[in-house]
Amino acid sequence: MAKNGNISTSVIKRLPRYYRFLGELEKQGIERISSRELSEMMKLTASQIRQDLNCFGGFGQQGYGYHVASLRDEIGHILGVDKEFPTILIGAGNLGKAIAMHINFGTRGCRLAGIFDANPRLTGETVGSIAIRHTDEIEEFCKEEHPVIAVLCIPKANTQAIADKLVELGIKSFWNFSHYDLTIDHKGIEVENVHLGDSLLTLTYRTNQLGKAEDE
Amino acid sequence: MAKNGNISTSVIKRLPRYYRFLGELEKQGIERISSRELSEMMKLTASQIRQDLNCFGGFGQQGYGYHVASLRDEIGHILGVDKEFPTILIGAGNLGKAIAMHINFGTRGCRLAGIFDANPRLTGETVGSIAIRHTDEIEEFCKEEHPVIAVLCIPKANTQAIADKLVELGIKSFWNFSHYDLTIDHKGIEVENVHLGDSLLTLTYRTNQLGKAEDE
DNA sequence: TAGATTGTTAATCGATTAACAATC
DNA sequence: TAGATTGTTAATCGATTAACAATC
């Protein structure tokens, strides 16, 4: 299997969604599904599903379809849900705490190993079962625990500097929630910028368009 | 101006980013910028920028470029930042509170008018300056205040039912954070699904690929 | 075997990039 | 005017969809 290699990002971005839908199907006790049935559930074309899955290998069987449980396992494995990338979160404000509590890192190949904040008043406070450390301790922590992923929930002014520092300390991937477009020029570093504000603005745009259509 | 109409979603999704970068430039006191300069900052092509902006009108001037402040204003207007869509947020758990506190609704064409939670113990507690109401009050609230946008920070099991109810109460647009793919079949309803877990999972995938490349 | 449904190739569609005439 | 840079058309590229032979 896994004739992996250069998969387009369009495909990659659909994989977690397949994974979720297959999880639901499995939970409902459904054993097999055809690309056509799945396409109706997910509101995309059967062709696209078959095309996407075939980037990684022939997971289906002619005349039968796909075995839900094993397809889900395959996709999970491709995504890396069976990994345990040590992960740190920087910035334990409203958003940082919420991300720490709300996201199940464990089911997504990550292990949340440490939380840091520059505010000494937060030091020692716990989020879930994890104590907040002061940011001064990041360096030592990285040398001991070798985290690979950093979640950034910090003000935009500090983001680039902190990220550069973290790269030196061995961080390979950033999940960036600050209102700043993080770019790292070193290669071998991955960045996922989440811009919640941008997401809301596109909804505002579409809401506004609804009103205009009415007027015609 | 505004030869608006059927703009592709690829373009729409880039608009908030243009808006942010132009805001930064304006803050730095930069008056004019060419598509080439902007393309270098934003890491996309000058051609794409000119193409994108021309969907809406000729905002530039040959031989000069674009006037930063007025281009920003134009894009802001297109996005609808000058609107005040009344917005309600349902689910005042970790994530709901964080969204309420962390997102500046006002600068994005929205006015956060109410926060609701099913847990009566939260009723009366304030988030920012807004008191949490019990979900039983949503109906009355909608009849009085006519909110247009709903932010859903609720468990996936309830999402579809609550959304359907809200459509009846006049909500036009959903910003959905639940781990559920909300689809509304009524037309004239907009949905923006935010799947933070999916976002993390694509980062896990890429992090995993980094390790593999090393082995070659 | 016959029916169903995949894997895969070919056709279409849309988005991005390149090029250049228009024009400030 | 000459130089710069847009607006816009044409060319390219990539992603999606359609079609169908392979095969379970």
Cβ contact B98–A103 (<8 Å): no
Task: List the binding residues of B for NAD(+).
Answer: 91-96
CA distance B64 to chain A (A): 27
Q: How confident is the model at residue B5 (pLDDT cuts 50, 70, 90)?
A: low
The answer to whether the Cα torsion of B213, B214, B215, B216 is positive or negative is positive
Q: How confident is the model at residue B1 (pLDDT cuts 50, 70, 90)?
A: very low
pLDDT in tens, B26-73: 999 999 999 999 999 999 999 999 999 999 989 999 999 999 999 999
Cα B40 from Cα B136, distance rounded (Å): 52
A101 has pLDDT over 90: yes
Query: In the sheet where A110-117 sits, what is the strand order?
Result: A126-127, A130-134, A110-117, A85-90, A149-152, A173-176, A190-193
Q: What are the structural domain ranges in chain B? A: 9-78, 85-198
Mutate which of B44, B107, B201, B214 to disrupt the A interface (most A C-beta within 10 Å)? B201
A216 has pLDDT over 60: no
Cβ contact B203–A94 (<8 Å): no
Res A5: pLDDT: 62
Contact present, B105 and B165 (Cβ < 8 Å):
no
A127 has pLDDT over 80: yes
User: Which window residues (48-87, chain B) lie with Cβ within 7 Å of strand C?
Assistant: 48, 50-51, 61-64
B3 has pLDDT over 70: no
pLDDT in tens, B85-124: 999 999 999 999 999 999 999 999 999 999 999 999 999 9
Res B187: pLDDT: 85
Cβ contact A173–B148 (<8 Å): no
Strand C: which nucleotides have any atom within 7 A of a protein Cβ?
Answer: 2-9, 14-19, 22-24
**Count helices and strands in chain B by DSSP H and E runs:** 8, 10
The answer to whether the Cα torsion of B172, B173, B177, B180 is positive or negative is positive
pLDDT in tens, B161-181: 999 999 999 999 999 999 999
B215 has pLDDT over 90: no
Contact present, A139 and A149 (Cβ < 8 Å):
no
Q: Which two tokens stand for residue B157?
A: 């099991």
Q: How confident is the model at residue B4 (pLDDT cuts 50, 70, 90)?
A: low
From the CA of B25 to the C1' of D7: give the distance in Å: 23
A215 has pLDDT over 50: no
A211 has pLDDT over 50: yes
Res A187: pLDDT: 85
Res A213: pLDDT: 62
Nearest residue, CA→C1' of C15: B10
Q: Which two tokens stand for residue B68?
A: 């930063």
The per-residue DSSP string of chain A comes to: ----S---HHHHHHHHHHHHHHHHHHHTT--EE-HHHHHHHHTS-HHHHHHHHTTT---SBTTTBEEHHHHHHHHHHHHTTT--EEEEEE--SHHHHHHHHHS-SGGGTEEEEEEEES-GGGTT-EETTEEEEEGGGHHHHHHHH---EEEE-S-HHHHHHHHHHHHHTT--EEEE-SSS-----STT-EEEE--HHHHHHHHHHHHHHHHHHHH-
Res B213: pLDDT: 62
SS3 B113: strand
Residue B54 DSSP label: T
Name the average pLDDT for chain A.
95
Q: Is the CB of A67 under 7 A from strand C?
A: no
Choose which CATH entry (3.40.50.10420, 3.40.50.720, 3.40.50.2300, 2.40.10.340) describes domain A85-198. Answer: 3.40.50.720
Strand D: which nucleotides have any atom within 7 A of a protein Cβ?
Answer: 2-9, 14-19, 22-24
Q: Quick check: do A9-78 and A85-198 share a fold?
A: no
pLDDT in tens, A39-76: 999 999 999 999 999 999 899 999 999 999 999 999 99
CB nearest A206 (choices: B105, B190, B202):
B190
pLDDT in tens, A139-168: 999 999 999 999 999 999 999 999 999 999
Residues B9-78, CATH architecture: Orthogonal Bundle (1.10)
Which CB contacts under 8 angstroms, 24+ apart, belong to A128-132? A128/A100, A128/A101, A130/A100, A132/A92
- Give me the residue label for tokens 């509304």: B184
How many other β-carbons are positioned within 10 Å of the β-carbon of residue B46?
14
Nearest residue, CA→C1' of C5: A63
Q: What are phi and psi of B128, to 5 degrees?
A: 65, -120
In DSSP terms, B174 is beta-bridged to: B150, B191
Which residues in chain B have their CB less than 8 angstroms from residue A175's CB?
199-200, 203
Cβ contact A197–B108 (<8 Å): yes
Percentage of chain A beyond pLDDT 70 is 96
From the CA of A48 to the C1' of C12: give the distance in Å: 14
Contact present, B99 and A94 (Cβ < 8 Å):
no
Percentage of chain B beyond pLDDT 70 is 96
Cα A14 from Cα B79, distance rounded (Å): 27
Q: How confident is the model at residue B2 (pLDDT cuts 50, 70, 90)?
A: very low
- Give me the residue label for tokens 């009524």: B186
Q: Is the CB of B9 under 7 A from strand C?
A: yes
Res B113: pLDDT: 98
Contact present, B132 and B88 (Cβ < 8 Å):
no
Q: Is the CB of B60 under 7 A from strand D?
A: yes
